[in-house]
Amino acid sequence: MKFATFAVLAIFVAATAFAASPSNTPMAKEDIVPPAMPDYGRVGGEDIATAAVIVALPFSDTGSTVGYLDDYDEVCPYSGSFAPDVVYSYYAAEDMCVDIDLCPSLYDTKVFVYEDEWTPGDPFACNDDADCATAYRSFIGGLVLYAGHTYYIVVDGYSSASGNYVLDVTQVDCPTPCVVECPPEGIDEGEGPCYDGYTDPFNGGCNSIPDVYTFVAPSAETITYCGLSGNFDNNTLKDTDWYWMDLTCETNTITICADAEFPLLLGFVDMSLGCVDGLGFYSYVTTPVECDPICHTEILPPGPWCVFVASLVWDNIPCDADYVLTIDGYESCVPVEDASWGSIKALYR
């Protein structure tokens, strides 16, 4: 109690000194006494051989990775980490699903899971940064464990990060498998699945050299594409699909919708300047979960535009993950001065 009072007082004094100082330079950082940090202590195992055994679920533990060795690392998607790690193990007596939650931890965590043995470069599951209340914490949701297998949960850190962690492993209802079906009217994207070393010579847009596109034919009807996207090269790359439209009307109200077996990034790219450096989205929408259809509407001026579809994340999305994209409002406009009755009638045949 005494110490806590002292720490609070020290911060107050430091803040006052900083605010009121007539100096034109800020005071040195070392003068600020940091608040006391708890030390959650050493409780996890050092490595797979000495893993701390999780006997039953739900399981909750707090500990610190400080002072442990860096035995393991996985890329998901950041490489080059040398952070210390601790290991827990759990034997699944039956098929089940679990959430592995490090969200309340106090440092930039990373977590990965091995099945039965160390499989470097090929973890059973892996996450660095999840959608936690605090940024950069880790979470693996709805992970399917199979009866008769032992799972090693490695609590690790991004880069050199280490510190106090809070680990919760909870059995949850297994998620309904997300399956996106191609409707009968769907046009096959035609690209095929990505793979390690893939360079996307098909429709990678400005991510490919040379740039390549799927050219969309205008239609008064809804245009539907069935495509694939996913992650490859150790989840450092993703297949991006660029659908090219030449908008010819004075204003073009375009609605794009997509449903995917992966978290989705869907948007418009203004291609009027081509693949210039720093090319960004005109606008976009995202969904952090799979099988969550999203739509986006813009009123666009005439010119070349792309619809962009890809996985939002670099996180073990298989290369054959399906999506369905629809485009509404991409119609042809014939310039009035060039229009003949014949050409106008041809449009509506």
Rg of the Cα atoms in the chain: 26
Cα 67 to Cα 39, 51, 73, 74, 213, distances in angstroms:
12, 16, 16, 20, 51
User: How many residues belong to the site for Ca ion (CB under 5 A)?
Assistant: 19
Selected range binding Ca ion among 150-158, 250-258, 273-281, 321-329, rule: CB under 5 A: 150-158
Interactions with Ca ion, residue window 77-106 (CB under 5 A): 83, 85
Q: How far apart are the first and last CA of the chain?
A: 83
| Contact status: 261 vs Ca ion (CB under 5 A) | no
Contact pick of 136, 139, 282, 284 for Ca ion (by CB under 5 A): 136
Q: Which is nearer to Ca ion, 86 or 169 (CB)?
A: 86
Minimum CB separation of residue 122 from Ca ion in Å reads 16
Selected range binding Ca ion among 36-44, 196-204, 212-220, 247-255, rule: CB under 5 A: 196-204
Interactions with Ca ion, residue window 203-222 (CB under 5 A): 203-204
Selected range binding Ca ion among 6-14, 98-106, 183-191, 251-259, rule: CB under 5 A: 183-191
Minimum CB separation of residue 205 from Ca ion in Å reads 8
* Binding string, residues 5-44; x marks residues near Ca ion by CB under 5 A: ----------------------------------------
DSSP string across 113-164: EEESS--TT--SEEESS-S-SSTT--EEEEEEE-TTEEEEEEEEESTT---E
| Contact status: 158 vs Ca ion (CB under 5 A) | yes
Is the CB of residue 309 less than 8 Å from the CB of residue 229? yes
Strand partners, 210: none
Q: Which is nearer to Ca ion, 92 or 194 (CB)?
A: 194
Q: Which is nearer to Ca ion, 81 or 252 (CB)?
A: 81
* Phi, psi (rounded to 5 degrees) for 177: -60, 135
CA distance 201 to 194: 11
Contact pick of 46, 47, 61, 70 for Ca ion (by CB under 5 A): 70
Minimum CB separation of residue 65 from Ca ion in Å reads 9
Q: Which is nearer to Ca ion, 40 or 72 (CB)?
A: 72
DSSP classification of residue 30? G
Q: Of the candidates 258, 247, 236, which has an alpha carbon nearest to the alpha carbon of residue 308?
A: 258
Contact pick of 64, 73, 267, 269 for Ca ion (by CB under 5 A): 73
Could you give the strand order of the β-sheet that contains 214-215, starting from the edge strand earlier in sequence? 214-215, 240-247, 303-311, 264-270, 283-287
Burial profile 291-329: b = 16 or more Cβ within 10 angstroms, e = fewer: beeeebeeebeeeebbbbbbbbbbbbbebebbbbbbbbb
Minimum CB separation of residue 58 from Ca ion in Å reads 23
Selected range binding Ca ion among 36-44, 107-115, 270-278, 337-345, rule: CB under 5 A: 107-115
Minimum CB separation of residue 23 from Ca ion in Å reads 37
CA distance 144 to 218: 43
Could you give the strand order of the β-sheet that contains 59-64, starting from the edge strand earlier in sequence? 59-64, 164-172, 96-101, 139-145
CA distance 213 to 204: 6
| Contact status: 74 vs Ca ion (CB under 5 A) | no
Minimum CB separation of residue 71 from Ca ion in Å reads 6
Q: Of the candidates 159, 67, 61, which has an alpha carbon nearest to the alpha carbon of residue 105?
A: 61
Selected range binding Ca ion among 8-16, 108-116, 141-149, 212-220, rule: CB under 5 A: 108-116
Contact pick of 128, 168, 290, 322 for Ca ion (by CB under 5 A): 128
Contacting positions for Ca ion (CB under 5 A): 70, 73, 83, 85, 108, 128-129, 136, 156, 158, 191, 200, 203-204, 227-229, 239, 241
